[in-house]
Amino acid sequence: MHFLVANEILYCIEDYCIKAFCKLRTSRSSLTEDRSKMASIRCFLRSGKSAVSVVLRREFSKTSPAAVQVNVRDALNQAMDEELERDEKVFLLGEEVAQYDGAYKVSRGLWKKYGDKRIIDTPITEMGFAGIAVGAAFAGLRPICEFMTWNFSMQAIDQVINSAAKTYYMSAGAQPVPIVFRGPNGSSAGVAAQHSQCFAAWYGHCPGLKVVSPWNSEDARGLLKAAIRDNNPVVFLENELMYGVPFDLSEEVMHKDFVLPIGKAKVERQGTHITLVSHSRCVGFCLDAAAVLAKEGVECEVVNLRTIRPLDVETIEASVMKTGHLVTVEGGWPQYGVGAEICARIMEGPAFNYLDAPAVRVTGVDIPMPYAKILEDHSVPQIKDIIFTVKKVLNM
């Protein structure tokens, strides 16, 4: 009983804060800052788990040393720092990663600590430096190759696919390629068509690659450490709008050997009526939608893919077999996308027999990203789109 009351109180507080923020927003501050602040309020209030435990934790936060707040940027930074320290063969190269501290400050402080040999600023020549990174991996180093955004990886995509992904196979196991390609992926805010594409489906298509798409700080930390320790090429898709979002991380997660398994999804929220499968920033939207739907008595199970390739179809199937309904949610374009693959696999597997309705996808709109804010807002899946879709699928 107390929990239900506490929950209600919390939602009221949340609604109030959001409304207050909307008022504040019109008077000052940039939209990106606002969005991330709103997201951080939500996350602060929820932290990806039940709202009630957050209330309790907030009271205990001063006394409990176990949880620490880390935003996604810092989680990535710390993960790289720890792995650079752990293994001398690890190094970072990319545009502005060294003296500028990273275009998005993800590599802040690393050049100061490790110097020119291990943190290398490259000229603006993606095809060349991606090839150099792969060659270094051939010869036994463990490079982290940063693309300032994944849009620029198209200049270098031949090196990622033909030189990195396929080499272990072509050489029949003689030549492993222990490389991580990382950078922000997908839409941002107001950066328009050439800087907003999601590459999850493109890279997820190719055998020989592992493709990872973290949502929160725990994902970012655990998966990046796993990627750097992996002896295979890993495409690591970050999200610029998540960089500033803080999450609570436990002592266990902060341990320097904390890694998450690549290829394993996580159920972020248990539910019984419908399964929402998502990756990256959209996981947060699914949780928001789930919170709203819960008030109407619909309990959504939210699955955070964490890895695009290999896809953890077992976790999705287990969830669908429990709920009988599936909605996939992604920021990328619909055609031949991540959601399309998930739906196809569900059709081909045991979970199909448990579906009470067709599995459907919520995706980015099938257009190049426009610039004007109102258009941009309507180009990406919003919480209301998820809610609308859930109700359609559940015939509400």
Residues that bind other proteins (CB under 8 A): 91, 117, 120, 122-123, 125, 127-141, 143, 158-159, 162-163, 167-178, 207-208, 210, 231-232, 310, 348-349
Question: How near is the Cβ of 283 to other proteins at its closest, in Å?
Answer: 25
* CB neighbourhood size of 323 (10 A): 22
* Nearest of 281, 178, 185 to residue 234 by alpha carbon: 178
Neighbouring C-alpha atoms within 13 Å toward the C-beta of 106: 33
139 vs 374, beta carbon nearer other proteins = 139
Active-site residue 195, yes or no? yes
Read off the amino acid at residue 374: I
Question: How near is the Cβ of 126 to other proteins at its closest, in Å?
Answer: 9
349 vs 370, beta carbon nearer other proteins = 349
Question: How near is the Cβ of 144 to other proteins at its closest, in Å?
Answer: 13
How far, in Å, CA of 383 to CA of 309, rounded? 26
Q: Between the CA atoms of 57, 382, 190 and 375, what dihedral angle is there, to the nearest 10 degrees? A: -160
75 vs 134, beta carbon nearer other proteins = 134
209 vs 298, beta carbon nearer other proteins = 209
Question: How near is the Cβ of 130 to other proteins at its closest, in Å?
Answer: 8
Question: How near is the Cβ of 258 to other proteins at its closest, in Å?
Answer: 20
Strand ranges (E), the chain: 68-71, 90-94, 119-121, 142-146, 180-184, 210-212, 234-238, 246-249, 266-269, 274-278, 300-304, 307-309, 326-329, 360-362
* Nearest of 242, 245, 151 to residue 198 by alpha carbon: 151
312 vs 376, beta carbon nearer other proteins = 312
Catalytic residue among 126, 146, 268, 341: 126
* Nearest of 146, 93, 149, 102 to residue 121 by alpha carbon: 93
Partner residues linked to 69 by β-bridges: 248
How far, in Å, CA of 48 to CA of 69, rounded? 13
280 vs 307, beta carbon nearer other proteins = 307
- Host H or E run for residue 220: helix 217-229
Contact 332, 240 (CB under 8 A): no
Neighbouring C-alpha atoms within 13 Å toward the C-beta of 10: 24
Where helices occur in 47-125 by DSSP H, the ranges are: 51-60, 72-86, 110-114
Question: How near is the Cβ of 188 to other proteins at its closest, in Å?
Answer: 27
120 vs 302, beta carbon nearer other proteins = 120
Active-site residue 240, yes or no? no
Which sign does the torsion angle of CA 131, 92, 32, 293 carry?
A: positive
Question: How near is the Cβ of 118 to other proteins at its closest, in Å?
Answer: 9
Which residues carry out catalysis? 126, 195
